[in-house]
Amino acid sequence: MSKSSKLENEAAQSTSALGPLIGVAREDFVGAVALLLRESASDPKRLMKHAQAMGEDMVKIMTGKSDLAPDPKDKRFMDPAWQYNPFFRAGAQYYLAVQKGMHNWLQDLELDDLERDRANFISNIIIDSLAPTNTLVGNPTAQKRLIDSGGLSLIKGLQNAYKDLTQNKGMVSQVDKRPFKLGENVATSKGSVVLRTEMMELIHYAPTTDEVYEVPQLTIPPQINKMYINDLSPEKSVVKYQLDNGIQTFVISWRNPSKEQGIWGMDDYIRSCLEAMEAVSKITGSKKVNVSAGCSGGQTASVMASKLAAEKSDLLGTLTLMVCVLHPKQLDIEAGSLVSENGMKLARRRAEKKGVIKADDLSRAFAWLRPNDLVWNYVINNYLLGADPPAFDVLFWNADATNLSASLMGDFLTLFETLAFTKQGEVEMAGHKIDLSKVTSDLFILGGVTDHITPWKATYRSTQLFGSKDITYVLSQSGHMQAILNPPGNPKAKYFVQKKKGKLPETADQWLEGTEEVKGSWWPYWMEWVQKRSGKQKPAPKELGNADYKPLDPAPGLYVVEER
């Protein structure tokens, strides 16, 4: 795999997503560091013991007797120079000695489990920043590139750094945006906006088959990313796949909120979703609308499903939830240990003052929670090697993030703090008391094996929350967005499903014991599931929208290109 491909793969697994991380405040970082310093001062003998052990390692390195060696899987130390060049070998060993010393010291501190997880998370961020590979003098690959290019790599690296300082708010670029143009080589499926409100556009996509299924499908995307993740390229387009399989396809495109629109809360977003569903029903003549949603869009769709159930509405057909956590636990994710009650309050207070949380701030915070994958990787590639960041469509979409309304963030924090989806009629939101046990729609739930943003075992817990009798859980082999964007044709694709049909077991581990591995993409399996629940086939409509919902602008609409 080339360096560029590795960068694409690693970053695609780390695309930003709304989760409990919005409750992480900088004070919690400071507090975690202060705890480490306080514990260090509490027992000087313990500190001396570990300092002595680290000193002994340093002496062994200086005398050439150290056997410290990088993990063979650590991509930072793949260059042969780390093994054969004495200078670089010693540099790696000094770094590993610090890493080992820090690990042993943390193990010896008297911390509870939560404090220990916080300490480990913070120390890893600090140690990762000290890696010799992050500097020109300590990176043999960068030095070779410098010599081979006659110094041009250094000049290009400085140009890249200057460009990021002046055009990317000082954040290292993860993607080369130049090759991508919305409507030309990204988001190219034919369609039209058929409803536009202050909050959203509803896009109706043009059928590609002579016949379509009676029951349409509406996609509700996350509020912090733009909707065209569903239509990235013809090869990776969920929209195109639905159309080619006879599904009448509609997608909501959320507007990027300005500071004045920071008052938009969950009740406003649910109202918009219901308005979109009613429009889809009237355009297609179907009394039911199937719904698909991912990540925070899945949380929104679940609140909507609960509200429809409370109103005894039959409008909702099936519900597909992709990489979405409804029953979070604090240590599901690596940074979860940093979420505190105080941090939640501070995050809420800070957001209320600003009206919106800026997209750039969200992206920056997320990147520094995974600095090896999302910062240092690109410092090495863009600055030390003087290479362009990869031109990768998923990363182009990820860099095109939107602001988050402060009111909506407050509602997401409420869902997280109260575990609202696990309660039955206790937490009020969007004009009703949330109760998923009243939702009886057929459910399709997707998780990703290597997803560290919405870990698959956390997504599996959703299977136990609904009142539905027909629930299918599928585990895709990849990470967060890659779990969804896994179309037919990928030779490495595979997924896991339950061997025997019937009620799903209570825990993810029990489910995994009864699964079988299936080669290929999960998309055909899902499509068959959707088609069975989409009624009969009928002639495809000749025009988009109808007399009440006339076509406005072509897909992907105006809101995806609006700058805020």
Closest CA to 561 of 269, 249, 193: 193
Question: 288-304: per-residue pLDDT in tens?
Answer: 999 999 989 999 999 99
Query: Residue 409's pLDDT band (boundaries 50, 70, 90)?
Result: confident
d(CA 43, CA 116): 17
In the sheet that 217-220 helps form, which strands lie side by side, from edge to edge?
A: 191-196, 200-205, 249-254, 217-220, 289-294, 316-322, 443-448, 471-476, 494-498, 515-519
Question: 429-457: per-residue pLDDT in tens?
Answer: 999 999 999 999 999 999 998 877 888 99
More confident residue, 548 or 13: 548
d(CA 430, CA 304): 8
Output the pLDDT for position 106: 80
Q: Is 141 helix (H, G, I), strand (E, B) or coil?
A: helix
Question: 36-83: per-residue pLDDT in tens?
Answer: 666 666 667 777 887 788 888 889 999 889 999 999 889 899 999 999
* Sequence-distant (≥ 6) Cβ neighbours of residue 524 within 8 angstroms: 488
Catalytic residue among 18, 203, 295, 375: 295
Q: What token pair was written down for 68?
A: 């410290």
In this structure, of 61-70, 282-291, 538-547, the range with the lowest mean pLDDT score is: 61-70
Angle between helices 113-129 and 86-108 (to 10 degrees): 160
| For range 335-358, the mean pLDDT | 69
In the predicted model, is pLDDT for residue 20 greater than 50?
A: no
The DSSP symbol for 256 reads -
Q: How far is CA 82 from CA 75, 85, 132, in A?
A: 12, 6, 11
Write down the CATH number for the domain with range 191-327+422-535.
3.40.50.1820
In this structure, of 30-34, 160-164, 412-416, the range with the lowest mean pLDDT score is: 30-34
In the predicted model, is pLDDT for residue 218 greater than 80?
A: yes
In the annotation, is 273 catalytic? no
User: Whole-number mean pLDDT of the chain?
Assistant: 88
Output the pLDDT for position 398: 85
In the predicted model, is pLDDT for residue 239 greater than 90?
A: yes
Question: 514-531: per-residue pLDDT in tens?
Answer: 999 999 999 999 999 999
Output the pLDDT for position 507: 94
Query: Residue 345's pLDDT band (boundaries 50, 70, 90)?
Result: confident
More confident residue, 296 or 270: 270
Output the pLDDT for position 339: 63
Q: Degrees (nearest 5) of the Cα angle 214, 217, 218? A: 145
